[in-house]
Amino acid sequence: MNQYFAGLGEKPFRSQQLLQWIYQRKVMDYEEMTDLSKALRLRLKESTCLTLPRIVNQQVSSDGTCKWLMQLQDGNSIEAVFIPEDDRGTLCVSSQVGCSLNCTFCATARQGFSRHLTVDEIIGQLWVANHALEEMGVRTARPDVPSDHRRPVTNVVMMGMGEPLANFDNVVAAMNLMMDDFTFGLSRRRVTLSTAGMVPAIDRLAEACPVSLAVSLHAPNDALRDQLVPLNKKYPIESLLGACQRFIGESQRQRITFEYVMLQEVNDTPSLARELAALLADMPAKVNLIPFNPFEGIQYQRSSKSRIDRFRDILLSKNIFTVTRKTRGDDIDAACGQLAGDFTDRTRRSERMRRDSVKVAVV
């Protein structure tokens, strides 16, 4: 922004003014930015545009979770989800239209892939969500923030549609923008990126934007993870954990969150729990056990509560910090793994899956 305004012959502080107008005052009309000269406002209007994703559908769950279907300029649509809690409000943000990976238990993956989101489309989800929630009267309690400065969204997780690290440059630019003092001012500990395990990009992330890291693990060995997360064939568990260790660095103060979706009689046995505990024994780790959220056309089933509890207790007995994630928004298909959006699948993956399911049914 500084370089852009310098190119216009303006002082660098103009970038700060513009960011504050857009992100803090939520003004999207140059004519209302009264501390910019009329000449500058005219030049901005002629040479740039201010656009946002458009909400085409909003659903509110019985537990307060809110999901939006947001339409982009090209007609594709993505989904973002807000999860309210007593002391924070978390927004789940998408990074791709669809997903370029093919995890077998994920609704987004079954829809295929269209393209990467641009920086403005990523940050725009946060702008639109905050605005929509404020219109609904939502305020998130934060004891460290004066009540008149509280925004609904206090935390962002890059866990929506897509693999964030496959869209590295745009995602990093958007996260840095979220943390800028002249925009939303989020701290690094309040921004989390979730990845299926793109090892080289994890190493780049540690240098470019060391936010909190979550890894979609879902299995303690390569044989099983190859089936659930096909990316594992390229970056197996040993190399993935090596990248996690490098991300933490020598201080070892930051925990890596390992997400583990619980699939009945697939990855939820006591022996696999013990194997996972041994795998993470030397890692500052938090394990998030995620009850599987079913969707149409999938063969997996959610592990029973007793199997999830037994899996958790084994990990805890081995001193692995473990929690079971509370399922939120599943009545509006807003829970983990259920986001689907509305877009053109350039990979034709969804078409192939439908065709294969028909073949199985016929057999």
pLDDT per residue as tens digits for the range 70-126: 999 999 999 999 999 988 999 999 999 999 999 999 888 888 999 999 999 999 999
Starting from the edge strand earliest in sequence, which strands make up the sheet with 191-195, in order?
Answer: 54-60, 66-71, 77-84, 89-92, 155-158, 191-195, 212-216, 256-262, 285-291, 321-324
Active site residue 250: no
Once rounded to an integer, what is the mean pLDDT over residues 134-144? 76
Owner of token pair 């991300």: 247
Residue predicted with more confidence, 4 or 358: 4
**pLDDT number for residue 198:** 97
**pLDDT value for 338:** 54
pLDDT mean across residues, the chain: 90
What pLDDT digit, counting tens, does each position of 35-50 carry?
999 999 999 999 999 9
Q: Catalytic residue among 66, 79, 103, 244, which?
A: 79
Q: Specify whether 79 is catalytic.
A: yes
Identify the pLDDT of residue 351: 58
| 285-299 mean pLDDT | 90
Mean pLDDT of 194-222: 96
Q: Give the long-range contacts of residues 217-223, CB within 8 A, separation 24 or more.
A: 217/258, 217/259, 217/260, 217/276, 218/103, 218/105, 218/259, 218/260, 218/261, 218/267, 219/267, 219/272, 220/272, 220/275, 220/276, 220/278, 220/279, 221/275
pLDDT at 336: 60
The whole-number average pLDDT for the span 19-29 is 96
CA R_g for the chain: 21
- Considering the candidates 66, 92, 209, 336, report the single residue annotated as catalytic: 336
Answer whether residue 65 shows pLDDT above 80: yes
Q: What is the pLDDT of residue 266?
A: 97
Domains and their CATH numbers in the chain: 1-50 (1.10.150.530), 51-362 (3.20.20.70)
Percent of the chain predicted with pLDDT > 90: 77
